[in-house]
A and B are shown apart, each in its own frame.
Chain A
Amino acid sequence: MEWVTPITGLLAAAISVPLLLALYFLKLKRLAQPVSSTLLWKRAVQDLQVNAPFQWLRRNLLLLLQLLALAMILVALAGPVLSMVSGAGRRYVLLIDRSASMSATDVEPSRLAEAKRRARLFVESLRTRATFGLRETGDQAMIVAFDERAKVMCNFTSDKRQLAAAIDAIESGHGRSRLSQALTVANAFAQSAGEEGGGRRTAARLVLYSDGRLADVDGLAIAPDDVVYERIGQSRQNVAVTALQARRPYESPDRVTVFATVANYDTQTVEVDVQLSFDGDVLSVRSLTLPAAQPDPEGGPDRPGRAAVEFALTQTGGGIIELRQLNDDVLAADDAAWVVLQPPRRSRALLVTRGNVVLESVLRACPLAGLEVISPDAFDAMDPAAFEAQGAHDVIVLDNHVPAILPRSRYLVFGRPPKGIDVVVPQQIENQMIVDWRPQHALTKHVNLSNLYAARGWRMILPRDADVLAEFNTAPAIALLQRQGSTFVLLGFDVFDTNWPFEPSFVLFVYNAVTYLGLEATGFEDTMLTTGEPLVLDGVESGMAVRVSGPGVDSRPVQIGPGPVARFVGTDRVGVYTLTVAGQTPRAYAVNLLDDLESDVQPAENLVLGAGRVVAAQEDRAHRANLPLWPWLVLGVMVLVCTEWIVYNSKVRL
């Protein structure tokens, strides 16, 4: 048995025991009782004092009982405990994994709850500092919760209440596990003195509560002796949606094709049902058979059994596509994935020309949402940033104009190519005939260019990544180029220098080009994110009210940062988030997990650090806790007080 706070006990004893004795030996207030004569009583008292040596004891039985009760309280105050942790005050860093795999429910109620429970037990067993100790420090601990990023829940302290509160505040998330940032943070704090350092620096010991699914574990710079790996979790039964895409083929924008991959991480074959919903309505359910996971011949993690599935829908509008696998498994976060489907949008075109009846009429014949015609000077006078932000036009058609500004957009350029896009135009060319073109390309599909004759043109020397779609005799005629975030379809000739307007292929080509460039404007990628990635919306003006709602987030205002962009980083959970700018239609973002490492919930047996060093998992032993003895002592005190009361009140003469 050892004493946690012996000085406290001694100090309390020094105060209270003399006090109790003094109270007892002060003159007791005695009840005055008149008797006819004290003659006999005095003789009796004298006889008693002479003859009974333990009379003092009998008379002071109450005092003894009270002394005994006081002694027990004092011993309790001195904090006796059994099974102490020996050694000087140590420092511990508790790293608690709160990634998606820790939401698995194979350990009741969830792996994260179990990790928190074990961490709390550990905190309970920390040795505390003696109240009046001069040199001794207690154990200190620091709580760091990590998924991809690390968050310090509590700095080094011995205050168990603070530590327990910090542990309880850890919330589960759907991120990936990466330990490097957590370690960096822990090391930074371990170097500092901490709350009660007193100048002594002992190396902090890491205690990792995780299932071992760490992406960067082999690159970590820690010695195996410094880390204790508390493995949590036991099952590997999980089926996850690991890939999801939705595409509108541009030739039939009403149709949507959804591609998905479902993976099985268990060692048994499973049959799953996958369900496709659009905006909450279930459209289709399919059964899949997923093969069992196979061990990797190279010794890496097991390869899951995968199956691919494809759905074809007809959807003219936009909405949210959800793919969900209906089997019950331990991890629910990866059972569904979302994709935000944009409605097929008709493009809006901007024609920059001094007046071109042909182009104008052809463009008007195309299925556009709108056509705006401005003069080249007006175009050059625009602010490119504002133009990009407004996004009012998807396609810009430049008719023989080398623009002074080049905002990010999609360009159909007739005539001399714009400057600054790595295209060199050394000279003009004449009398060119199209000799070859690529009939399979989206731009030149169904377009017959064999009769195209150009009286004048420009020779274009294109960079190597440009796509040449049609060639004149001596120079490229039509090229496709991506530069500076913009897409350029370059035609090195003026329309009126050719006979093209009389060819039916002209109309077809312009239609193809406008459609192709318009589709490029509607990308899916920026609305599909993984957990932890921020939602970014540019083109907002500071001062506009932007709010976000989603899983776990309820209409929270979003700060507008420099840019100006609106940025929201709280995408901890999978689901569909909606950003609402005041006065505009809400934009949806799909946040998915889609991570093999997290979905494979099999807890790692050992942590394999860099250079093959292995940290074995701790046995799940009952955590050695210090058994405090003070409750028993307090119980004893209560019993003594009751006895004392009985003795005092009864007529039993002892």
Chain B
Amino acid sequence: MTTTESKTRRTLRDLLDPAFMARLDGLDILSHRALRGKLRGERRSKRRGEGTEFADHRRYVVGDDLRFVDWNIYGRLDQLFIKLFLEEQDLTVHLLVDASASIAEPDRDKDRYVRRLAAALGYIGLVGNNRVTISLFGDGIVAEVSNLRGRGHVARLAEVLLDTEAGGASDFDKACRQAAATRVGTSVIIVLSDFLFKEGYETGLRRLIGEHYEVYAVQTLSPTELEPELAGDLKLVDVEDADASEITVSAALLKYYKQTLAAYCNGLKDFCVRRGATYALANTGTPVEQMVLNTLRRIRLVR
């Protein structure tokens, strides 16, 4: 295994640095559905043995299984609490990575960031013995490796991330349709994109969101998108569909742009929250490590 590991680490090192990867070893992808406290036996477990990690307490209500009462607390507080366990479920971690022109142009910041983020999440998933599928989409899904399990497949993960060229128009709806069709069991779907789709993100996301599926939307924006530094009379050319917009930059226009951007991001956030998905905003200016270890932990994507 060492040789395979060293071989994979060498390739993945192109995306992530070893110190970071060492820290990622201790993490795992979470699924919030686990907090509903279903019976242990009702699902297939990854480990042979029982999932015993204690996660949380809940007040006892009539009808709960008495086996899960935490007697220590009862002894101390004279109140009944049920212990909740994190089930290590047989999760499919599906990474939907935007590989269209809007990510790659005009500079490759976003593209690199997104790939690194995908690499980190994919690595965490593989290390946590989950089933990892990674799909890169542009006009529909353009590259996919599915059902990778275990460290041995890190190389393949790295391969697909490094070798796929970004570019081309984007059709989010088509990609989501394709992704939804290949779903197996409980899935955590993480969409890494800038979500700046002319046709809108609603239809696509609606396809992904369902009872058994957890959707995480990580909107990645570059600093030049968040705080543009343009000046003068410009003709803005969209890299995906070559649509031109003529503007004369002024303070007022920038103000309106930022307002529009904020409204758009908030709109996406509201959409996600209302449908039970989780939203996070990634700024490519902040390092990937910080994103993964702080922000994604905070939204409980990883632990």
Contacts and interface: CB of A to CB of B under 8 A. Distances in A.
Interface of A: 28, 30-45, 47-48, 51-52, 55, 58-59, 651, 653-654
A30 B103 contact: no
Contact of A58 (B232, B239, B252, B264): B252
Sorted nearest first, the 5 A-B pairs with minimum C-beta distance are: A653-B251, A37-B196, A44-B257, A30-B235, A36-B102
B260 A36 contact: no
Contacts of B101: 36
Contacts of A45: 245, 247, 253, 256
Give chain B's interface secondary structure class: mixed
Contacts of A653: 249-252, 254
A47 B106 contact: no
B105 interface: yes
Interface in B243-277: 243-254, 256-257, 259-261, 264
A30 B246 contact: yes
A41 B252 contact: no
B25 interface: no
A41 B239 CA distance: 14
B194 interface: yes
Interface in B126-164: none
8 contacts: A34-B106, A36-B103, A36-B194, A36-B225, A37-B198, A40-B261, A48-B253, A653-B249
Contacts of B106: 34-36
B235 A48 contact: no
Given A36-B106, A47-B259, A52-B252, A41 B236 contact: yes
A33 B260 contact: no
Given A35-B236, A45-B245, A40 B251 contact: no
B231 A651 contact: yes
Contacts of B239: 34-36
Given A37-B196, A44-B257, A32 B110 contact: no
A38 B102 contact: no
Given A34-B106, A40-B257, A40-B261, 13 more contacts: A31-B232, A33-B230, A35-B239, A37-B198, A45-B245, A45-B247, A45-B256, A47-B256, A52-B252, A55-B252, A58-B250, A58-B252, A653-B250
Nearest to B100: A36
B35 interface: no
A38 B248 contact: no
B42 interface: no
A396 B281 CA distance: 139
Interface string B190-214: 0000101110000000000000000
Nearest to B170: A37
B233 interface: yes
Contacts of B103: 36
B248 A59 contact: yes
Nearest to A52: B252
A31 B253 contact: no
Most buried by A among B234, B256, B259: B256
Contacts of B260: 40, 43-44, 47
A564 B15 CA distance: 119
A35 B237 contact: yes
Given A35-B239, A40-B260, A40-B264, A30 B234 contact: yes
Contacts of A40: 196, 257, 260-261, 264
Contacts, number: 101
Contacts of B194: 36-37
A558 B133 CA distance: 120
A31 B238 contact: no
Contacts of B248: 59
A55 B256 CA distance: 13
A44 B244 CA distance: 14
Contacts of A37: 102, 194, 196, 198, 238, 240
Given A30-B233, A30-B246, A58-B252, A36 B259 contact: no
Interface in B84-143: 101-103, 105-106, 110
A587 B233 CA distance: 89
A42 B194 CA distance: 17
A34 B105 contact: yes
Most chain A CB atoms below 10 A, which of B105, B231, B250, B252: B252
A33 B236 contact: yes
Interface string B221-233: 0100100001111
Given A44-B259, A55-B252, A38 B243 contact: yes
B211 to A, nearest CB: 31
B235 A654 contact: no
Contacts of A38: 236-238, 243-245
Nearest to B245: A38
A192 to B, nearest CB: 64
A569 to B, nearest CB: 77
A33 B238 contact: no
Contacts of A33: 230, 234-237
Nearest to B257: A44
A38 B237 CA distance: 7
Contacts of A654: 250-251
Given A36-B106, A36-B239, A47-B260, A41 B247 contact: yes
Contacts of A59: 248, 250
A39 B198 contact: yes
Most buried by B among A35, A42, A47: A35
B101 to A, nearest CB: 8
In the complex, which of the residues B237, B247, B251 has the most CB atoms of chain A within 10 Å of its own CB atom? B247
Contacts of B249: 653
B50 to A, nearest CB: 48
Q: Which of A28, A34, A52, A651 has the most CB of B within 10 A?
A: A34
Nearest to A650: B231
Contacts of A51: 256
A31 B257 contact: no
B267 to A, nearest CB: 11
Contacts of B259: 44, 47
A396 to B, nearest CB: 110
Contacts of A28: 233
A31 B110 CA distance: 24
B256 A44 contact: yes
Nearest to A35: B236
B228 to A, nearest CB: 8
Contacts of A55: 250, 252
